[in-house]
Structure formats: C-alpha cells, structure tokens
Structure 1
C-alpha cells in the first residue's frame, strides 16, 4: 500500500473511531480487540518498520513509539465514561477530554515522526497504522480492566473513572 493510501486509511479509521468514541455505544466485549489487532497486523505486514540504514536508531524509535502508543491509549481510556446497563451490557462514551487526548496523541505521533526524519530515519508507512493499532489496543485493554470492577448486572450503576 502506498503512503498516501495508508494515510487515507488511518484518517478514515481515526474519523470512525472518534465518532464512535464520542457517542454512547455498547461495547461488544467479545470483539473489542479486533480492530486494533487488525491494524497492528496490517502495519507490521506492510513492513518497513525498521530503516535498514539506521537499524539501531530506528529500533529505538520504534520502541519509543510503542511505549508512547501504550501511554496515550491509557490516557484516552481514562477520559471515557464506562458503565453497565441493568441487563449487564457494557457501555462507554468519551467527551471533551477524549477529544483533547486524541489531539495530544496525534501531536505526539507527528512529533515522533519529525524526530525520526530529523535523525535521518526513514521507515515505511506501516508504522502509522501499527501505532494507531497499539494505541487502540492499550485503550481497549484499560477499558476492559476498568469494566471488571463494574457490577456484573442488574444495578445500572454508572462509573466515571
């Protein structure tokens, strides 16, 4: 896939994810990791995660990007309201802080890309897709952990952690 196609794919996925995260939505707990896992797999499958001309530096940057993705995903998860309905279904909704957290996530990714280019590291566009996938995996994992502390069913108790 070309860089332009990857950027368009990421923008499309990001737009859909943002729209879904800002509205109250039921979480399908059995399938919540599917999209992030697919994004990571697609990003890795595209290759080019490591610049062979700067292997050590690009591996270091890849580790930093993965760590940033995990932290930023956790940060976004913390901004989301999470609750169970009386029938036991899990719901979540983001708000203004979720938008701010996404803006920070995008700014960090652009900053890391700028650092890589300034250091002469040139990787493939699969990094962009993989970064989004790692970030969403972290976000959903934190939401999953938070959901375990919610009453299982019948209470309709709302939590805003």
Structure 2
C-alpha cells in the first residue's frame, strides 16, 4: 500500500474509532480485539518497521513506540465511562478527556515520527497501522479488565466505573 493510501486508511479508521468512542456504544465483547489485531497484523505484514540502514536505532525507536502506544492506550481507557445494562451488555462512552487523550496520542505519534526522521531513521508504511493497533489493543485490554468488576445497572440508577 502506498504511503498516501496508508495515511488515508489510518485517518478513516481513526475517524470511525473517535466517533464510536465519543458516543455511548455497546461493546461486543466477543469481537472487542478484532480491529486492533487486524491493524497490528496489517502493519507488521506491510513491513518497514525496521530501517535496516539504522538497525539498532530503529529497533530502539520501535520499542519506544510500542511502550508509548501501550501507555497512551491505557490513558484513553482510563477516560472511558463503562457500565453494564440489566441484560449484561457492556457499554462505554468517552467525553472531553477521551478526546484530549486522543489528541495527545496523535501529537505524541507525530513527535515520535519527527524524532525518527531527525535521527535519519526511515521506516515503512506499516508503522502507523501497527502503532494504532498496539494502542487500541492496550485500550481495549484495560477496558476489558475494568469491565469484569462492573455490577449490572439497575433501572434508574447510573453506575460509573
């Protein structure tokens, strides 16, 4: 996939994810990890995660990107309101803090890209998708863990977590 196509796919996915995360949405717990796993797999398959001309530096940058992606995903998960409906279904809703966490995630990712560029590290198209996949996997894993202790919502009572 070309760089432009890859960026467009990331922007499209990001737009859909943002729209879903900023409104109340039922979470399909059986399929929760599907999109992040697909993004991560496609990013790895596209290749170019390592710049072979700067192997040690690019492996170091990749490690930093993975850790940062995990931390940013955890941060976004912490901003989500979770609850279970009487039927047992899991719901989530983000707000202003979730949006701020996404803006921070994007800014940090752009900063990491700038640092890599300044260091002469050239990576392929897969980095954007892989970073988004790792970040969403962390976010959904934290949401999954948080959801396990949620009580059922009773009629007329709001339960927040």
3-state SS of the aligned residue for 1:91?
Answer: strand
When normalised by structure 1's length, the TM-score is: 0.96
Consecutive unaligned residues in structure 2, runs of 5 or more: none
Match of 1:108 in 2: 108
Alignment of 1:132-143 (within 5 A): 132-143=132-143
Aligned partners of 1:158 and 1:36: how far apart in 2? 29
**How many residue pairs were aligned?**
160
8 Å Cα contact 1:81/1:159 also seen in 2 = no
Aligned partners of 2:112 and 2:71: how far apart in 1? 14
Structure 1's consecutive aligned runs of 4 or more residues displaced over 3 angstroms after TM superposition are: 153-161
Aligned partners of 2:28 and 2:7: how far apart in 1? 27
When normalised by structure 2's length, the TM-score is: 0.96
Aligned partners of 2:120 and 2:154: how far apart in 1? 56
Consecutive unaligned residues in structure 1, runs of 5 or more: none
Instruction: Tell me by how many angstroms 1:160 deviates.
Output: 3.3
Question: In angstroms, what is the RMSD of aligned CA positions?
Answer: 1.2
Alignment of 1:10-159 (within 5 A): 10-151=10-151, 153=152, 155=154, 158-159=158-159
Aligned partners of 2:159 and 2:143: how far apart in 1? 12
